[in-house]
Each structure stands twice: as structure tokens, then as C-alpha cells.
Structure 1
Amino acid sequence: MPAPLFTVINTFTLKDPAGAEDFERRFLDHVRWMRAQEGFRAHQAVRATERPEVYVNLGWWAAPDLFKQVMASETFQEHAKEFHRIVDVEADPSLGILRIDAEGGQAAGDGSVVLVERFTVTGDAEAFEAAYRAYAEAVAGLDGFGHTDLVKSVVRPGQYTAATRWSGPGAYETARHTPEYTAVLKHAEVATVAATPVAGNRAPEVTRHG
């Protein structure tokens, strides 16, 4: 099986909430450069709905060493220096666990939202992963589902992040009331952030590690 994609989750918090336009311009310039780098596969950037000063970006890479090479470059360091002037940055390196798209490959559509869920597994990690997979496969056929990615932190034991695209709040609330989601919560506690897509593209398929 192919190796899981290395995933970097960056949470950016604006030091000045009025600086969103400047940050987004700089970030999109940075992403255009990143897309040309060896090993870059895809990314998804979102802005929190209730805390618009907070952005989250998931970046998928073929391997951690390739990402480290890019980080060491002069251009990346210049971009990082600019970012740190206007945002606080929290990074969470992770490994891709699964990717599921809507049945028939249909996107969630314009006006969609991305639900970012931070799971803290309180029991067996494999049981949690199996429960999340069962949930994702069950809701993939629901109206309003676009796609989901689940990744596992490599530096914070028991921590997972899921990013799921939906057509709107009604769609994800329906999904969160399914028995499959109830089963997920038997294995983990969750903190949820609804967000607006800013930029991104889909990652290639990932497989469960191991």
C-alpha cells in the first residue's frame, strides 16, 4: 500500500484582526510558490466562522523529508518571517489516516463550510479510527457531503484532526446525529470549529498507516 501523506496543520491567529486582507494576500502568494515545490501534494485553508481572526491550513506532502527541505530554503524562511510579523503560528505535523469523497465524486458546492474537528482519543486508537471510517463511509451518501480527511498527530499522542466539507450547517448537523457519529464519540472527545474555505485543492488518496 502507498505510504500515508505527511500532513502539516498550521493554525494562524491574526495579531491584528484588521489584517486579514494582508495575511490572505501573503498566504496565497506563499501557496502559489509552495505548489511548485517537490513533494507538495495539496492543501486546504479555512477561516473560522465564529473567530475570524483564526485560520487553519492543512498541507499534504509526499514525505516529511521533502517538507523539511522546503522549510530550510531561503524563500520559505523569508515567507515565514513575514508571517510571524502578522500572525501567531501553531504547527501540528501529522500523518494522513483516510480520505473519503462524496459518492459519485460530487462536491459540496458553493457556499460550503468546512468542519474542523479536533479529536482527543480517550480509548483505543485503532477502535477510534475504525469508528471514524465507518462514520465517514455512512455519511458519504448524505446530501451536502463533499469530502473528509482524517489525520493523526505525530507529536501529540491521541490527537486527531478531521476536516470535512459540507454544503452548510444543516448537512453536518444531520451527520452528527447519526448512530455512527455517536459511536465515534465513545472513543474520543471532540472540539469543533466551523470554517469558511479560503483556498485549496484535494489531496491524493491516503491510506491507513501500517
Structure 2
Amino acid sequence: MPAPLFTVINTFTLKDPAGAGDFERRFLDHVQWMRAQEGFRAHQAVRATERPEVYVNLGWWAAPDLFKRVMASETFQEHAKEFHRIVEVAADPSLGILRIDADGGQPAGGEPVVLVERFTVTGEADAFEAAYRAYAEAAARLDGFGHTDLAKSLVRPGGYTAATRWSGPAACRAAQHTPEYAAVLKLAEAETVVAAPVAGNRASEVTRHG
């Protein structure tokens, strides 16, 4: 069983909403460089539908030390300095505990959406993780499912983040009406962000952790 992936979750909020194009160009250049670094596995960047000044990026790394080494590089520091001029950045370092991909890759058709969910678990973590796994496995059998990831925060007590890609809003809503999803919500408070994918790739060697 592969080791869990270190997950870097960054929320970027534009200081000037009119600067989205500039930010996305800089970000895509940065991601292209990051993909070539040792330990990089995958990432998913999205833009919130109802708050288009907000972007979320989930990056998956083989180990935190490899990511820290990249962070210390001159190139990364130059990129970070540029970003901080145009966005506010909130980081939530986490550990990936579940990853499931649809058979055959991305769902076909529709306008894809990514549901980003920030959970706060007040009860037993094991019970929540088991409930989310049951939901994710049920969701993977539904039409329009693309992939899902769940990560446990290393800094937020009881904090988890999930990102699930669907072929469109209807498929996403159908999953939220399943009994498995209702069981998840009984164990945690959830803050949800519906978003559009901006850029991303998947790690081919890993389909599931946990």
C-alpha cells in the first residue's frame, strides 16, 4: 500500500477581482515548473463559482520534506513574492487519506464542476472517515463521477477537506441526496464551495489511500 500523500491546500483570494487573468497566467506558469520538481504527484486548481475572486489549489506530494525543499528554492520564493502582491493566501497542510478515480478517467459530457468541502468533525475521526469512504464508494458508482480526494488537516483540529469532480451540477446534486452523504453530514459540519476546474492532473500510480 503506497504511503499517504502530503496534501498542500491553498486558498487564493484576489486583492483586485479584475486581476484574475494575470493571476491565472502566473499560476499556470508556476504549476508547470512545480510539475517538474521531485516529489510532485498531482494537483487540482479550481475557481469558486459564486465567489470568482477565490481560487483553491490542492497539491499532492510524495513527502512533506520534498515539498519543503522546493519551497526553499529561489524560484519558488520568487513566484511566492509575485503571488503575494496580487492575492491573499491561506494554507492548510494536510495528509491525504482517500483517493478514488472513476473507471476510465474523467466523466464525459457536461460542464464539469468540482465540489470542495471543508469539514469540521466534532466526534470520532474514525467514524467520519469510514462514513466518507462509504459515501465516496457509493458516489463512484453514480453517473457523472470523476474523482474524489479526502485529506485530513495537520493544523485544524477535526478538519478535513474533500474535492470531488463531477460532469455537471445535476450529478453533484444527485450525490448529495444519497443516504451515504446524509450519514457524513451527521458527523461533521460542512462548508461547501462549488467551483470550476482551472487546471490539474492526476497521479497515475495511486488510486486510493487509507
Please indicate the TM-score interval, normalised by the length of the shorter structure: over 0.9
Q: Which amino acid in the other structure matches residue 13 of structure 1?
A: T
Pairs within 5 Å for 1:29-48: 29-48=29-48
Pairs within 5 Å for 1:13-162: 13-102=13-102, 104-109=103-108, 111-162=111-162
C-alpha deviations, 1:24-47, integer Å up to 9, x for none?
000000001101111011100000
C-alpha deviations, 1:89-141, integer Å up to 9, x for none?
00000000101112x22412352000000110021100000000000101111
Q: Which sections of structure 2, spanning at least 5 residues, go unmatched?
A: none
Does the 8 A contact of 1:5 with 1:206 survive in 2? no
Does the 8 A contact of 2:100 with 2:208 survive in 1? no
Residue 48 (structure 1) shift: 0.2
Residue 206 (structure 1) shift: 4.4
Does the 8 A contact of 1:144 with 1:171 survive in 2? yes
Cα RMSD after superposing both structures: 1.0
| Whole-angstrom distance in 2 between the partners of 1:158 and 1:107 | 30
Q: Which sections of structure 1, spanning at least 5 residues, go unmatched?
A: none
Moved more, 106-115 or 36-45: 106-115
Residue 54 (structure 1) shift: 0.3
| Whole-angstrom distance in 2 between the partners of 1:65 and 1:54 | 28
* Matched residues, number: 207
1:163 — aligned with what?
163
Q: Which amino acid in the other structure matches residue 190 of structure 2?
A: V
SS at match of 2:59: strand
1:192 — aligned with what?
192
SS at match of 1:105: coil
2:209 — aligned with what?
207
**Structure 1 pair 168/4, CA: closer, same or farther in 2 (3 Å)?**
same
- Percent identity, aligned pairs only? 83
| Whole-angstrom distance in 1 between the partners of 2:176 and 2:11 | 24
Q: Which amino acid in the other structure matches residue 34 of structure 2?
A: M
| Whole-angstrom distance in 2 between the partners of 1:206 and 1:74 | 34
> Is 2:10 the partner of 1:10?
yes
Does the 8 A contact of 1:2 with 1:207 survive in 2? yes
SS at match of 1:78: helix
C-alpha deviations, 1:161-193, integer Å up to 9, x for none?
000000111111111111000111111010100
| Whole-angstrom distance in 1 between the partners of 2:74 and 2:207 | 31
Does the 8 A contact of 2:47 with 2:54 survive in 1? yes
SS at match of 2:106: coil
Does the 8 A contact of 2:114 with 2:163 survive in 1? yes
SS at match of 1:36: coil
| Whole-angstrom distance in 2 between the partners of 1:2 and 1:141 | 24
| Whole-angstrom distance in 2 between the partners of 1:201 and 1:169 | 21
